Chain A
Amino acid sequence: MEADPEGRGAAPHLQELRRGTVVLACLLVLDEPRYGYALLRTLGDAGLDVEANTLYPLLRRLETQGLLESDWNTEESRPRKFYRITARGARVRDALEAERLRLHAALSVLSRPPRRTED
Chain B
Amino acid sequence: MPSTVTTPSLTDAYLHEVVRRLPARSRADVARELRGTLADMADDGVARGLPPEEAERRALEELGDPARLAEDYSPGPHHLIGPAHYHDFLELLRVLVPVLAGVFGGLTLLGRLFEEAGRESLAGYLALSLVPALGAAVQGALMGAGIAVVVYAVVERVEAAEAAERAATGAPEPPAEEPPRWTAAQLPLPRPERDVTVGELVWSTIGLGLAFAAPFLLSRPLVREGALAGEPLLDPALWAPWVPLYLLLVAVSWGCELLRFFRRRWSWGLFAVNAAVDLAMAALLITVLRTESVVNPVFRDRGWVGQEFAQIGVAVVVVITVWDLVATFLACRRSIARRG
Residues of A within 8 A of B (CB): 35-37, 51-54, 56-57, 60-61, 64-66, 72, 78-81, 88, 91-92, 95
Closest B residue to A78 using CB positions: B36
Complex: A67 Cα to B63 Cα, angstroms: 24
Q: Would you give 26 A-B contacts (Cβ < 8 Å), ordered by A?
A: A36-B33, A36-B36, A36-B37, A37-B37, A37-B40, A51-B64, A52-B63, A53-B64, A53-B69, A56-B37, A56-B69, A57-B72, A57-B73, A60-B73, A64-B164, A66-B167, A72-B32, A78-B36, A78-B39, A78-B40, A79-B32, A79-B36, A80-B36, A81-B33, A88-B174, A91-B174
Q: What chain A residues lie within 8 Å of B167 (beta carbons)?
A: 64-66
Q: Is the CB of A66 within 8 A of B33?
A: no
B68 at the interface (CB under 8 A from A): yes
Band of interface residues on B: 20 to 34
Q: Is there an interface contact between B64 and A37, defined as CB atoms closer than 8 Å?
A: no
B 30-70 contacts with A by CB, 8 A:
30, 32-34, 36-37, 39-41, 62-64, 68-69
Residues of B within 8 A of A95 (CB): 174
- Assembled-state Cα–Cα distance A35/B37 (Å): 9
Q: Are B174 and A92 in contact (CB under 8 A)?
A: yes
Residues of chain B lying within 8 A (CB to CB) of residue A64: 75, 164, 167-168
Given contacts A64-B164, A79-B32, contact A52 B37 (CB under 8 A): yes
B124 contacts the other chain (CB 8 A): no
Residue of A nearest to B167 (CB): A65
Q: Is the interface of B mostly helix, strand, loop or mixed?
A: helix
The docked-state distance in angstroms from the alpha carbon of A62 to that of B243 is 73
Does chain A have a CB within 8 A of B255?
no
* B313 part of interface (Cβ distance < 8 Å): no
List, in ascending order, chain B residues with CB within 8 A of A60's CB: 26, 30, 73
Check if B41 sits within 8 Å of A52, measured CB to CB.
yes
Interchain CA distance A33-B261 in the complex, whole Å: 65
B37–A53 CB distance below 8 A: no
Mark B163-186 against chain A: 1 for CB-CB distance below 8 A, else 0: 010011010001000000000000
C-alpha gap A53/B72 in the complex (Å): 8
A37 B36 Cβ-Cβ under 8 A = yes
What residues of chain B lie closer than 8 Å to A61, measured between beta carbons? 75
Contacts of A36 in B (CB 8 A): 33, 36-37
Q: Which of A54, A56, A66, A72 contacts B34 (CB 8 A)?
A: A56
Q: Which of B234-279 contact A (CB under 8 A)?
A: none
Nearest Cβ on chain A to B329's Cβ, whole angstroms? 62
* Sample of 14 more A-B contacts, CB < 8 Å, known A37-B37, A66-B167: A51-B62, A51-B64, A52-B63, A53-B62, A53-B72, A56-B34, A56-B37, A56-B73, A60-B30, A65-B167, A65-B168, A80-B33, A81-B33, A88-B174
A81 / chain B contacts, CB cutoff of 8 Å: 29, 32-33, 36
CA distance A35 to B40 in the complex (A): 11
Q: Once the chains bind, are B164 and A56 in contact (CB under 8 Å)?
A: no
Q: Chain B residues with Cβ under 8 A from A78's Cβ?
A: 36, 39-40
Contacts of B26 in A (CB 8 A): 60
Closest 7 CB pairs of A and B: A57-B72, A37-B40, A66-B170, A57-B73, A81-B33, A65-B167, A53-B69
Q: Are B170 and A56 in contact (CB under 8 A)?
A: no
Residues from chain B with a CB closer than 8 A to the CB of A92 are 174
What's the Cα separation between A72 and B36 when bound, in Å?
A: 11
Q: What is the bound-complex CA distance between A35 and B69, given in angstroms?
A: 19
- What CA separation (Å) do A80 and B37 show in the bound complex? 8
Nearest A residue to B62, CB-CB? A52
